[in-house]
Structure formats: C-alpha cells, structure tokens
Amino acid sequence: MISNNPGLSRFLESYGIILVVIVMMAILYATQPATFLSAGNLSNILKQNAYPAMLALGMFVVIITAGIDLSVGSVLGLAIICIAVADKAGTPWPLVLLVGPLVGIASGLVNGLGYTMLKLPHPFIMTLGTLNIARGLTSLISQAPISGLQTEVRYPGQKVFDLGIFTPPAGIPLSFFLVIACAVGLWFFLNRTNMGRHIFAIGGNPQAARVSGIDVDRVLVYVYAICGFFAGLAALLLAGRTDSGFPLAGVGNELDAIAAVIIGGASFFGGRGTVLGVLAGVLIMGLLRNGLNLNNISPFWQQILIGLIIIIAVYIDVLRRRAATRK
C-alpha cells in the first residue's frame, strides 16, 4: 500500500523518522508524565546527547560514501586527553579550544590517506587499526583522568542558558546550539556544495564519480578528515561536560554513532541519508536510554533493545534497496 503511493512513501522516507521521535516522546510522557517533560530532564537529554550527535554527524559523512570509521571513539579519547594535557600545561584557552578539532582532523587525515594510499580493501581495516593506535596513544599520554579545566575550555560543553525562564541547572545547553550549528553547516556542505554532492555520488556509484572527473581519493581524504573533526568537537563537548580528560573516554561510542546514523535512515550501501535523520537517530537512542532509565529498566535491556532497533533499521534499508533495484 505504501509502495502504491509514491508521494506518501517519499514523505515517510523523509519525515517518518520524525514521527518515530514524536511517538517515542508520547510514550515516555505517558509512562512518566511528571519527570519526562520536566525542564531538568529535557535539558539533560540535550546535554547528554550533544557529543554523540557530533560523532554521528561525522560518521554520517563517512557512511554516505559507503565507508565506515571505527576509530571515532578512540579519536575522541585521544583528543580529550590532549585537550586536558594542553590545558594543564597552561596553554591559553583559545588554543586549547583548537586542540580537539585539530587532533581529530589529524587522525582523520591518517585514516583517509592510509585507506586511499595503501589501497586497503575497506576502510574497516584502516580505521580498526587507528581505533587501536589512538587508544594506545591515549593511554601512553595519561592513564589517569585529568580534571579541573579552565572555565573557557569547559564553556562549550557545560554552559547552559536559563533564558530567564528555567531554574538552573535546567536550561538550553550551549552544546545543543553547537550541534544545531554544525548540523546546519553540514547540511549546507552536503547539499549545496560540489564536494558535498561528490560525496553522495561516490556513495551512489564510485565509478560514475571517477569518470565525471572527480578525484575520488582526494574527496575520501576530506571525508575522513571531516569525520575526525567532528570527533574532536565531541571531545571538546565531553571535556567540558565532565570537566576532565579521561583515557577511557569514547570507548564503544563509534558503535553508537553508527547505530544512530543507520537508525536515522542513512544507507549502509552509501549514497543515502539526511542530516535531519541522523539527529533524529541520535535522539531516538537518547530517548530510549532516558525512557528506560526513568522507568528503572536495566541497562542490559537497553542494549538488547538498541541491538534490535539496529537490525530492524538495516533491514528496512535492505527492503528499500531491493524495491529500488527491482525497478
């Protein structure tokens, strides 16, 4: 029935995910009317999901090319430790703010150049390598958490605007605005610039991109650098929120980022997905965790549920792809 109505199916493809978010919120509200919609809980959801959102935005760019970046969690760890060490070394705060993104970009360049220059069969290999390397480096730099950062360095991850209507600590976190700004910027880049479209073309058919004169390897290097950049921003937000750099930061987060991107409707086969969907995917994972916490359901169930949702999301993608190729 859906397939008989292209308008409806296209609408659902673009905005169905938003419906899922709304339904989830309605269920959470129904089960926990007092707490769920409280300003405190809502601002917590925004604050907690800001750094996963950054990771997911970066991962999205890679997944559009039908690639994967397993290293973002470790890169986040390396970046957060570098931020903390730089901060403790008395570096002026404007420079410390740059440390996270720079470490991220550098790691991304290693991924991109390694993958393209060594002609590895799949980015899985390269980024699995850097997952280990970055984590190892992180522990070499510091095995203990480093806490107590300068106020200005904490600011992006910690600042909350009460806007005169909320009672602190409730409010709209600065990190939320940063995520929105990054999402809008990324949307513009992906949809309005030639390189953004080339990224989609590479995901759709790398051969088509190549014969159209696109330097596919060069674009891929940028793609992994962008992904690293977002991991560095995520590190900055997490450092601010926790007021520390700790060597285990980001462990396993790459999997959450991949899950959010896929739940958000991007295709593992590449070439498909929207920034809005990615944010929705992050929110769905965040709401799920929040809802299960509020209802005192064990975190093990959270894991099981998220696992099921990932499988369902990819299965939907497979169905969609089958429908497309049948034509």
Partner 1 sequence: MNTAASPLLEAKGVTKYFGAITALRNVNFHVNSGEALGVVGDNGAGKSTLMKILSGLYQPSEGHLIFEGRPVHFSSPRIARNIGIEMVYQDFALAGNLPIYENIYLGREPGIRVGGLTIIDKAKAREMAQAHLDKLKIHVKSVDQPVEELSGGQRQAVAIARATAFDAKVVIMDEPTAALAIKEVGKVLDLIKTLKDHGVAVIMISHRMDDIFYACDRVMALFHGANFADSPLGKTNRNEVIGWIMGTKDHTAQLAHDRVH
Q: Which residues bind partner 1 (CB under 8 A)?
A: 192-195, 197-198, 200-201, 203-205, 207-215, 271-272, 324-325, 327
Please, what is the minimum distance in Å from the beta carbon of residue 192 to partner 1?
A: 6
At 161, give phi and psi (nearest 5°): -95, 120
Residues 6+ apart with CB under 8 A from 251: 73, 74, 77, 135
Nearer to partner 1, 66 or 75 (CB): 66
Q: Are 203 and 65 in contact (CB under 8 A)?
A: yes
Report d(CA 43, CA 173) in Å as an integer: 7
Cα–Cα distance measured from residue 62 to residue 55, given in angstroms and rounded to the nearest whole number: 11
* Residue 148 and residue 244 in contact, taking contact as beta carbons nearer than 8 Å: yes
Single-letter amino acid, residue 225? A
Q: Please say which residue, 8 or 208, places its beta carbon nearer to partner 1.
A: 208
Least distance in angstroms from the C-beta of 273 to partner 1 = 10
Give the residue with the Cβ less far from partner 1, 162 or 217: 217
Considering beta carbons, is residue 153 or 227 the nearer one to partner 1?
227
> Which residue number, 277 or 286, has a Cβ lying nearer to partner 1?
277
Pick 95 or 215: Cβ nearer partner 1: 215
Query: For residue 173, what are the contacts with CB-CB under 8 A and spacing of at least 6?
Result: 43, 46, 47, 50, 158, 159, 160, 161
Residue 253 vs residues 4, 14, 183: alpha-carbon distances, Å: 39, 26, 19
CA distances from 323 to 7, 70, 153, 326 (A): 15, 29, 49, 5
CB of 191 to partner 1, least distance (A): 9
> Least distance to partner 1 from the beta carbon of 212, Å?
4
Rounded to a whole number of angstroms, the minimum distance from the CB of residue 188 to partner 1 is: 9
* Residue 64 CB, nearest approach to partner 1 (Å): 9
Least Å distance, CB 223 to partner 1, is: 14
Placement of tokens 């209802």 in the chain: 295
Cβ-based nearer residue to partner 1, 88 or 320: 320
